[in-house]
Amino acid sequence: MELKEKAVELFKSTATMMPTQIVQKAASSLAHSKTPTGVKVPILTNDPEVQRFVDEFELYKPEKMVQFLIQGGFAQFECIMDAVNELKEIDLINSHSFIKAAQRHYKRAMANESKFDAELSSAMDKLDQGLPQLEDKAIYYVNQIRAIDNRPKLSFFVRAKLDIKKVDLNNHCAKAAIKSVMNGYNLLIAIESALHLDTQSTIEELENFQSKILADDNCSLMHAYDDDKPSEFWTTLSDQFDNAIDNSDLLTDFLSSTKENEEEFIDYAALR
């Protein structure tokens, strides 16, 4: 598969995990003359349209693709954070603060050429601090609902009305934490790629989290208590994890192909 074809596949994989407005915002960061609403996101089933999009924003260039992935990841995080703020769950908000700090470091990296590597490394460090907390929060929220589900029948029905708000809050918080973890790992992998680091251990960490969340029939339990069953978040969660991991593999394959074909496989001066 040629480099541009790999870029098309990577873009399609990434875009399926993001709302259209996030893809628009990420692409707009690559072309300052465009506004987010001025970017037309292609139909992902139409390869010629995707190819034109990849060509227009030069996503076949590794520095452009990595910038697109990082910008999209932080834009996605902002959407998740808005939902978390609505939940008013302080512990989850505090855990998200590490990713927000990572975003600040990334913005400084983009604005200061002399500090690019140092700021990007600091962003990576903040993600490394925040992700384990978010993983623990996700497990905690699932366990809170499991504890309610395990109550004796009499106690369960007596307290059912009292616990409905608690159940809904924990379910929504679990979703937000899981989305943040998956998005955070995708961000971390993109940043590691920008720093020319091996991403394999990070992919393995995401796989470990996947195993924990999908264990013990957690998804069936959480879906049963979900007040938004039509969204099918819990019934499709395994596929969402697989897509995130496959996307990381596509990025690694894309950058490896670039490295084989260019003496300097990423020119990050183009990002600054």
98-111: per-residue pLDDT in tens? Answer: 999 999 999 998 88
Q: Write the burial class of residue 263 (CB in 10 Å: 0-12 exposed, 13-18 middle, 19+ buried).
A: exposed
For the entire predicted model, the pTM comes to 0.87
pLDDT of residue 159 exceeding 60, the answer is: no
Q: Which of 76-80, 199-203, 239-243, 265-269 has the lowest mean pLDDT?
A: 265-269
Q: Which amino acid is at 7?
A: A
Arithmetic mean of pLDDT, 212-226: 94
pLDDT of residue 66 exceeding 50, the answer is: yes
Chain mean pLDDT for the chain: 86
Arithmetic mean of pLDDT, 194-210: 92
What pLDDT does residue 272 have?
A: 54
What is the spatial distance between Cα 243 and Cα 264, in angstroms, rounded to a whole number?
A: 29
pLDDT of residue 260 exceeding 60, the answer is: no
Name the region of 217 (left: φ>0; alpha: ψ -120 to 50; beta: rest): left
pLDDT of residue 157 exceeding 60, the answer is: no
pLDDT of residue 195 exceeding 70, the answer is: yes
Which residues touch 215 (CB under 8 Å, ≥6 apart)?
none
What pLDDT does residue 158 have?
A: 45
Arithmetic mean of pLDDT, 81-91: 89
Arithmetic mean of pLDDT, 244-250: 91
Q: Which amino acid is at 91?
A: D
Q: Write the burial class of residue 161 (CB in 10 Å: 0-12 exposed, 13-18 middle, 19+ buried).
A: exposed
pLDDT band at 264 (very low <50, low <70, confident <90, very high): very low
pLDDT of residue 268 exceeding 60, the answer is: no
With CA atoms as reference, report the closest residue to 241 among 187, 175, 179, 188.
179
Residues of the chain by 3-state class (helix, strand, coil), percent to 5 = 80, 0, 20
pLDDT of residue 27 exceeding 50, the answer is: yes
**Following CA atoms 79, 83, 86, 90 in sequence, which dihedral angle do they give, to the nearest 10 degrees?**
-100
Which residues touch 91 (CB under 8 Å, ≥6 apart)?
137
Which residues touch 136 (CB under 8 Å, ≥6 apart)?
none
